[in-house]
């Protein structure tokens, strides 16, 4: 069988930047959830995206949780959340004993529909926070969403877990809201194997997040805790990997965009298939290249044909309001997120792919149209 082509696997730098920082951590014996790599990774990431402060945490999920807590979300508070996303966006709402209300997508961005969001504000005027996601590296229609949040004086949290390196109107996603969240999971555009970052221009709240995420240990000689704490801080080893990966972010974005353009050129001629949207205000990192199928050939046929050739692909996220755990919560929209799920597929977008690999993928897909 041919060598497996992955959807999006870890890709360490050819220069070995990561090992330099890992070695430094070993040499100084900072094998702990604190240290110089953590401090510098926070500083370097914040500078990279243009935010005033950052807290390095154990995951993107932890970062969303801390953002909700920092925004004052608590028991029985309403939080607006996109339905078309991974469950990690919605789960922290439940951690805070709050109530998610799921918002539909639009076809222009695949992200939160400003029209549906406006309807949600009318129905739930006392909402406590809004989480917006930049799905697969595509930025949401932020101007309209920010306008609505400001009108209703509601904090905005950007889940930019999939969009590090994406720009909205020339500015990094993750830096428009009150809080921005990045993920460095193994499949992300850069990885620390696992980890996340919370960024904000509110340095005081980020300091508070660091306090909460290190078990809320008070400044006392003995162990004293006046608030509930969490074990959410990033390790010095993991942060070292992140510092090395950050040096090659632009290279990874360039390759992801190359992959997207390759698919677009080769596949858009096929009837009933279209690539994910592009907008003039969105400079996407194209973390994953996704397609919509509008003809007789269905996504499952594409995925099974690829799998037969040892090529990994995935469905588009199943909307949260269709998930067994979340189906009891309200959904605002017309079902566009369901149609994106039913008709969408994520193609392999691994930055280690060669042109030969891309041609293998395209050949399998085109073969379905020749039957």
The predicted structure's pLDDT at residue 326: 98
CA–CA dist 103, 86 (Å, integer): 14
Beta-sheet pairing, 129-133 with 78-82: parallel
* pTM higher than the cut 0.75: yes
pLDDT confidence of residue 371: 76
Is the CB of residue 129 less than 8 Å from the CB of residue 80? yes
The DSSP letter of residue 309 is T
Six token digits for residue 197: 């970052």
Q: Which single residue is written with the structure tokens 């306090």?
A: 211
Instruction: Check residue 103 and give its pLDDT.
Output: 99
How many C-beta atoms surround the C-beta of residue 239 within 10 A? Answer: 32
Sequence spans of domains, the chain = 17-246, 249-370
H/E stretch holding 133? strand 129-133
Alpha-carbon span 266 to 256, nearest angstrom: 16
Indicate whether 193 pLDDT > 80: yes
Q: Return the structure tokens found at 15.
A: 């220069």
Strands of the sheet containing 282-283, edge to edge, are: 171-172, 167-168, 282-283
Token couple for 2: 């041919």
Radius of gyration of the chain from Cα atoms?
Answer: 21
Closest CA to 318 of 298, 343, 347, 350: 343
Paired with 331 in beta bridges are 102
Quickly state the pLDDT bin for 32 (edges 50, 70, 90): confident
Give CATH for domain 17-246.
3.40.640.10
- Please name which of 129, 127, 138, 128 lies closest in space to residue 161, comparing C-alpha atoms: 138
The per-residue pLDDT of the chain, averaged, comes to 97
Residue 160, pLDDT score: 98
The neighbour count for residue 47, using CB atoms within 10 Å, is 12
Q: Which tens digits make up the pLDDT trace of 348-358?
A: 999 999 999 99
Is residue 1's pLDDT more than 80? no
**249-370 is classed CATH 3.30.70.60:** no
**pLDDT at site 189:** 98
What number is the average pLDDT over the span 199-227? 96
Nearest Cα to 184, choosing from 205, 165, 168, 212?
Answer: 165
Tokens in use for 272? 């009933």
Contact between 127 and 121 (Cβ < 8 Å): yes
Mean pLDDT confidence for 40-52: 98
Scan for tokens 């995206």, then name that residue: 49
Contact call for residues 233 and 317 (beta carbons, < 8 A): no
pLDDT of 57-83, one tens digit each?
Answer: 999 999 999 999 999 999 999 999 999
pLDDT, mean of residues 98-121: 98
Chain-centroid distance of CA 110 in Å reads 14
Pairing of strands 314-315, 344-347: antiparallel
Q: How confident is the model at residue 34 (pLDDT cuts 50, 70, 90)?
A: confident
133: which strand partners? Answer: 159
List, for residues 195-212, the tens digit of each pLDDT value.
999 999 999 999 999 999
pLDDT at site 110: 98
């Amino acid at each position: 069988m041919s060598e497996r082509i992955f959807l999006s696997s870890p890709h360490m730098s050819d220069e070995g930047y990561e090992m330099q920082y890992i070695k430094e951590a070993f040499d100084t014996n900072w094998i702990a959830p604190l240290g110089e790599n953590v401090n510098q990774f926070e500083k370097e990431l914040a500078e990279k995206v243009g935010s005033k402060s950052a807290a390095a945490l154990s995951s993107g999920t932890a970062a969303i949780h801390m953002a909700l807590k920092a925004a004052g979300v608590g028991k029985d508070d309403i939080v607006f959340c996109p339905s078309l996303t991974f469950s990690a966006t919605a789960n922290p709402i439940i951690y805070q004993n709050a109530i998610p209300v799921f918002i539909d997508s639009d076809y222009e961005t695949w992200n939160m529909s400003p029209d549906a969001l406006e309807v949600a504000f009318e129905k739930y005027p006392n909402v406590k926070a809004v989480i917006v996601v930049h799905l697969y590296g595509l930025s949401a229609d932020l101007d309209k969403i920010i306008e609505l949040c400001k009108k209703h004086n509601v904090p905005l949290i950007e889940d930019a877990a999939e969009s590090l390196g994406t720009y909205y109107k020339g500015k990094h996603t993750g830096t428009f809201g009150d809080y921005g969240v990045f993920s460095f999971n193994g499949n992300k555009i850069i990885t620390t194997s696992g980890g996340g970052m919370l960024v904000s221009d509110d340095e005081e709240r980020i300091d508070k997040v660091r306090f909460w995420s290190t078990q809320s240990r008070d400044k006392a000689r003995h162990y004293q805790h006046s608030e509930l704490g969490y074990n959410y801080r990033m390790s010095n080893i993991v942060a070292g990997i992140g510092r090395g990966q950050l040096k090659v972010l632009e290279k990874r974005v360039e390759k992801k965009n190359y992959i997207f353009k390759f698919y677009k050129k080769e596949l858009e001629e096929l009837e009933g298939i279209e690539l994910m949207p592009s907008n003039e205000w969105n400079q996407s990192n194209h973390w994953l290249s996704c397609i919509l199928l509008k003809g007789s050939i269905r996504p499952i046929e594409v995925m099974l044909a690829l799998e037969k050739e040892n090529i990994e692909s995935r469905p588009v996220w199943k909307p949260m309001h269709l998930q067994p755990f979340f189906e009891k919560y309200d959904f605002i929209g017309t079902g566009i997120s369901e149609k994106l799920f039913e008709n969408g597929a994520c193609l392999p977008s691994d930055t280690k792919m060669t042109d030969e690999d891309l041609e293998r993928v395209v050949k399998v897909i085109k073969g379905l149209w020749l039957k």
